[in-house]
Amino acid sequence: MKILILNGPNLNLLGRREPLIYGNITFDQFFESLKKKYADVELHYFQSNVEGEIINKLHEVGFGFDGIILNAGAYTHTSIAIGDAIKGIETPVIEVHISNVYAREEFRHVSYIAPNAKGVIAGFGLQSYELALESFI
């Protein structure tokens, strides 16, 4: 099974960025532990702060992979283009968020990903990614 974890803007700063909201662990640390725990899964990881690069990656893997776990960061709330890209590919996408976006500012309650996603997982810290992975498995 081939799964891509795709992180959007500012998620490269995990571990340092607003630790009270996003925690103290870097994504690389978390990803290493995930790879060990799910050794049977072919897990890939890509992060970009650039909207077009996220779209290119969705196009690249979206006809060959079994699942995409997408945390589009703030683009979740703004990007019609990422929403359209998900609509245009075949691989199912699960939208994830580290924080509970529905308990935060109102602008975070809007998602252009959710209507095109298989499901949404938010508010479980980095475990949100693992729950999405379990769902694909």
Work out whether 74 is an interface residue with ligand DQA (CB under 6 A). yes
Q: And the tokens for 105?
A: 């500012």
Closer to ligand DQA at the Cβ: 40 or 105?
A: 105
102 noted as active-site residue: no
User: Minimum distance between the CB of residue 119 and ligand DQA, rounded to whole angstroms?
Assistant: 15
CA distance 8 to 48: 5
Per the CB < 8 A criterion, the answer to whether 68 and 3 are in contact is yes
Distance of alpha carbon 108 from its chain centroid, rounded? 15
Task: Give the count of beta carbons closer than 10 Å to the beta carbon of residue 20.
Answer: 7
User: Minimum distance between the CB of residue 132 and ligand DQA, rounded to whole angstroms?
Assistant: 12
22 noted as active-site residue: yes
What amino acid positions are annotated as catalytic residues? 22, 97
Contacts with ligand DQA by CB under 6 A lie at: 10, 71, 73-74, 76, 97-99, 101, 108
